[in-house]
Structure 1
Amino acid sequence: MTIAPAAADATTDLVVTDPVDGTVASTVPRASEPEVRDAVARARAAAGPWARTAPAERGALLRAAAEHVRAHAQELADLNTRETGKVPGDALGGVEAGVGTLVQYAELGPVHRGEALRGQFGAADWAVPHPRGVVLALTPWNDPVAVACGILGAAIVTGNTVVHKGSERSPATIARLNALLAEVLPDGVLVGVDGDGSTGELLLAQDGIDVYAHVGSTATGDRLSEVAVATRAHVVRENGGNDAVVVDADVDPEWAAAQVALGAFANTGQICTSVERVYVHRDVAEPFVAALVAEAERRTAAPADTYGPLVDERLRSTVQSHVDDAVQRGATARTGGVTPDGVGTFYPATVLTGCTDEMLVMTEETFGPIAPVRVVDDFDEGLRLAAADRYGLAATVLTNDTGHALRAAAELPVGTVKVNAVFGGAPGGSAQPRGASGAGFGYGPHLLDELTTTTVVHLEPAPARTTGGTK
């Protein structure tokens, strides 16, 4: 792995440009087909011994690996910033979050226990968890270390081995993370594979993979589910989202605007659970929009180390096409909405008003700093529109009405309902996305269950052997 090399082989190397200035940020060799086969074979060979390793020992090794990553946190953060444009503070925070997740799983794994079952008198029944085997982990670029550590930590501590391919948009960051973890773990427990979509297809063609664990696009998640029909691999996937916010009539509009701005513009809108749709009650719509525009303009004018670029030109073109579609259909860009001149892939924080249901900004995941606003007549209308979507990742309601909050929790078909905070949650929380957003528990303690199988044991005493004759 080299940073800013003099030359690269376009047929074999992954070359990433810095989204701030367009220079070469990293070059990483793409794995060949023999290297892909070898990676899966190494993980398969290590699976048996690792499964038989005591859970406490697995936990201790994972904790040591976490501390090794912590010692290189700034290095990983710098790689992340160069490759994706993630602002330095957020990049370092993502690495620290990843370390914390590894430590959490190091503690949870050894106490991930079976269950005693109540059966008949004189017999015993219990359920025992077992590793599934080899996990293929496919992870994204938008918070590469934090997201990857969740899947890797849960898989490894439960006795699985892992073949890990990160996104081709952050290959150097993931290659370094894989190397750091592998320096502590036994050989074959974690094997990194660098590559793009074609490399992913090569991995799917390999025998001996028991789980596909994926965080990323819905299209890739659908592809994994399609392949799993034939391979019978278990699939855990957290995919795209089109998360809604419903702003009720009884909240402070400036506070609500700050919440929505955080959800829509943090990491330049490049978060799976970013705010993608805004439904605001008519009674507070005017001051809310004014405050939201002010929040957007403040972020756009912020220094580059506070408000960063989009990851690449392809994503920026998609974001602009969604904005153009909305404007052509009658929406108004109250601020932003135009691709700026100059180097890099910056895009302004944008507020759209007059949005309607058929616009791409309301029906698709834009994954950029866009806050499309639709005014609703009452909370019922906002809740109904928020629920009417093919995605089912998360949603937020901002309200002082406890009854409205309880209705949202009961009626929104999403994995996470947040009340009065667009981000946040207890450590170890789990969520189960719905619809086009995926399936299975993607993090938290429940991920340990996803990555294990359960054997139910029933034990009865056998009658004593007789030797013949009578006593």
Structure 2
Amino acid sequence: MTLQPALDHATGISITDPASGETVGVLASADAGEARVAVERAALAFPGWAATPPAERGLRLRDAALALQARADEVAALNTRETGKPAGDAAGGVEAAVNTLLQYSELGPVHRGRQLRGGRMAVDVAMPQPRGVVVALTPWNDPVAVVAGLLGAAIVSGNTVVHKPSERSPHTGALVDEILAAALPEGVLVHVTGDGATGAALVEQPDVAVIAHVGSTATGRALARVGAERDVHVIRENGGNDALIVDRDVDPVWAAGQAALGAFANAGQICTSVERIYVHRAVAEPFLSALVAAADAWTTTSGQPLVDERMREAVAGQVDAAVAAGATLLTGGTVPEGPGSRYPATVLADVPEDAEVLTEETFGPVAPVVVVDDFDEGLRLAAADRYGLAATVLTADMVNAHRAAALLPVGTVKVNAVFGGAPGGSAQPRGASGSGFGYGPELLDEMTTTTVVHFGLPGGAA
């Protein structure tokens, strides 16, 4: 979904508080010349940073993490004003960012190569090497935690980074970069403010070695084309349309609570939000009743706005189109009066299979439900999608759980929990959702390239 905030290159990017409608601030958008200078600064710093011992790079990244921790309240408050993220969630995002940076500060120095023996007196050594300048283009829905993953892995691996945060969260991105960069040598982390045109100018620079992107599928595909044409490594986590399958043998009220959490948390603006639900007919009626109650409670207690009015218009448009096509609106679905960009938690039933609310990422607090006759039908419909980010299965049948893990064409299959995962976990998105590991230890592999050295002995030395 490609939506833009108010932007005038003569004045810059203007951001309003999605809860109150008040102006947060206006920031100038970098032009092509400024983009070039930013990449040149990072390229100039790369040789020295790449030559810095990994242990020292880890210590500097640790200093950056602790500096962010010291200003956590300030960063979280700004995130809430700029994106509408609830205060507790914003604080949790900063905490996650600090932990991620600390994790990479320890993983980086022990990132290992490989050894392979050939003849008795010969050996091949595969050594990871930093790639060069990384252009990181990051999203607004989690503008601190996601940033920490990409920047932390890139920096500790010996790369230098030019970071352009989303034009929907430029103030938060600028503050985070200011804090982190102050703990690093000059040019290791360079901040740029701008919109899509600025991002395009950055990735066209000749010194760029890696493009790391979290955002829309359309933008990700455009970046993949740039990478192919310019021989640049591209890492991208893009849109998702994550399915939730509810089997007949689970408590429908508990399942409805999981569905509500997955669909409505952060107003549905999470990369792995539940976007479509397939519920077994045997539990459909109590499940829908409980889900409607959960949605109404969510609207009453949270009332979190969407990031801006353009996003709200897009979400409302998908809901209205589904209802016009025959879907039943069980709750929500009405744009409230007043300032800001709030939208209620919404539940749809009897949704046509070709409705956009099922086939495309909605990125709002909407739970479209389809009743299925058996688990196999739910599994088939969940798998029939061009996206491949994640999916969830709620079941007490371990055979069905194993089948889902084997057959769902997604990077992450979650069983009996819509969110969660072990620290340091990683996954590869598929299809329209992107490619490459976007987090975890495997991201260190993405941020490096490998040099293989074959060691033999000089003539006669044996």
Q: Say yes or no: does 1:72 pair with 2:71.
A: yes
Q: 2-side partners of 1:60 and 1:52: how far apart?
A: 15
Contact map agreement 2:252 2:286 (CA 8 A) in 1: yes
Contact map agreement 1:178 1:190 (CA 8 A) in 2: yes
Match of 1:152 in 2: 151
Q: Say yes or no: does 1:375 pair with 2:375.
A: no
Q: 2-side partners of 1:168 and 1:337: how far apart?
A: 27
Contact map agreement 2:245 2:382 (CA 8 A) in 1: yes
Q: How does 1:101-250 map to 2 (within 5 A)?
A: 101-250=100-249
Paired letter, 1:108: L
Q: 1-side partners of 2:11 and 2:234: how far apart?
A: 29
Match of 1:469 in 2: none
Q: 1-side partners of 2:172 and 2:204: how far apart?
A: 25
Paired letter, 1:334: L
Match of 1:255 in 2: 254
Contact map agreement 2:303 2:344 (CA 8 A) in 1: no
Q: 2-side partners of 1:307 and 1:343: how far apart?
A: 13
Percent of residue pairs bearing the same amino acid type: 65
Q: 2-side partners of 1:118 and 1:33: how far apart?
A: 49
**SS of corresponding position for 2:208:** coil
Q: Say yes or no: does 1:364 pair with 2:367.
A: no
Match of 1:308 in 2: 304
Match of 1:392 in 2: 388
Match of 2:281 in 1: 282
Contact map agreement 2:138 2:165 (CA 8 A) in 1: yes
Contact map agreement 1:267 1:307 (CA 8 A) in 2: no
Match of 2:263 in 1: 264
Paired letter, 2:429: P
Q: 2-side partners of 1:278 and 1:354: how far apart?
A: 11
Structure 2 gap ranges (5+): 1-6
Match of 2:337 in 1: 341
Q: Deviations over 1:21-68 (max 9, x none)?
A: 111012222223332111100100111111110000000000000000
Paired letter, 1:287: P
Q: Say yes or no: does 1:293 pair with 2:289.
A: no
Structure 1 gap ranges (5+): 1-7, 466-471
Paired letter, 1:168: E
Q: 1-side partners of 2:25 and 2:421: how far apart?
A: 35
Q: Deviations over 1:318-356 (max 9, x none)?
A: 101100111011111100011111111000000000012
Contact map agreement 1:276 1:372 (CA 8 A) in 2: yes
Paired letter, 1:192: H
Paired letter, 2:345: A
Q: CA deviation at 1:116?
A: 1.2
Contact map agreement 2:133 2:159 (CA 8 A) in 1: yes
Q: Say yes or no: does 1:433 pair with 2:432.
A: no
Q: 2-side partners of 1:308 and 1:207: how far apart?
A: 42
Relative distance call for 1:392 and 1:266 in structure 2 (3 A) is: same
Contact map agreement 2:44 2:187 (CA 8 A) in 1: yes
Q: 2-side partners of 1:35 and 1:99: how far apart?
A: 29
Q: CA deviation at 1:464?
A: 4.2
Q: 1-side partners of 2:296 and 2:290: how far apart?
A: 10
Rg larger in 1 or in 2? 1
Q: 1-side partners of 2:115 and 2:98: how far apart?
A: 33
Q: 2-side partners of 1:26 and 1:146: how far apart?
A: 22
Q: 2-side partners of 1:27 and 1:376: how far apart?
A: 49
Paired letter, 2:189: L
Q: 2-side partners of 1:455 and 1:33: how far apart?
A: 34
Q: Say yes or no: does 1:401 pair with 2:380.
A: no
Q: Deviations over 1:215-241 (max 9, x none)?
A: 000011011011112111000000000
Paired letter, 1:130: Q
Q: 1-side partners of 2:208 and 2:221: how far apart?
A: 17
Paired letter, 1:462: P
**SS of corresponding position for 1:454:** strand
Q: 1-side partners of 2:117 and 2:165: how far apart?
A: 44
Q: 1-side partners of 2:26 and 2:198: how far apart?
A: 16
Q: Deviations over 1:136-165 (max 9, x none)?
A: 000000010000110000000000000000
Contact map agreement 1:158 1:452 (CA 8 A) in 2: yes
**SS of corresponding position for 1:61:** helix
Q: 1-side partners of 2:451 and 2:206: how far apart?
A: 24
Q: 2-side partners of 1:407 and 1:106: how far apart?
A: 38
Q: Say yes or no: does 1:419 pair with 2:415.
A: yes
TM-score by length of 2: 0.97
Contact map agreement 1:238 1:439 (CA 8 A) in 2: yes
Q: Deviations over 1:364-415 (max 9, x none)?
A: 0000000000000000000010000000000000000000000000000000
Mean Cα deviation higher: 437-446 or 31-40: 31-40
Match of 2:4 in 1: none
Paired letter, 2:403: R
Q: CA deviation at 1:10?
A: 5.9
Match of 2:24 in 1: 25
Number of residue-to-residue matches in the alignment: 455
Q: 2-side partners of 1:413 and 1:10: how far apart?
A: 42
Paired letter, 1:117: L
Q: 1-side partners of 2:19 and 2:397: how far apart?
A: 44
Q: 1-side partners of 2:11 and 2:149: how far apart?
A: 29
User: Which one of the candidate residues 303, 323, 329 is aligned to 1:327?
Assistant: 323
Q: 1-side partners of 2:279 and 2:204: how far apart?
A: 47
Q: 2-side partners of 1:252 and 1:119: how far apart?
A: 58
Contact map agreement 1:26 1:83 (CA 8 A) in 2: no
Q: 2-side partners of 1:324 and 1:308: how far apart?
A: 20
Q: How does 1:88-99 map to 2 (within 5 A)?
A: 88-99=87-98
Q: CA deviation at 1:74?
A: 0.7
Q: 2-side partners of 1:118 and 1:290: how far apart?
A: 63
TM-score by length of 1: 0.95
Q: CA deviation at 1:205?
A: 2.2
Contact map agreement 1:352 1:371 (CA 8 A) in 2: yes
Contact map agreement 1:145 1:174 (CA 8 A) in 2: yes
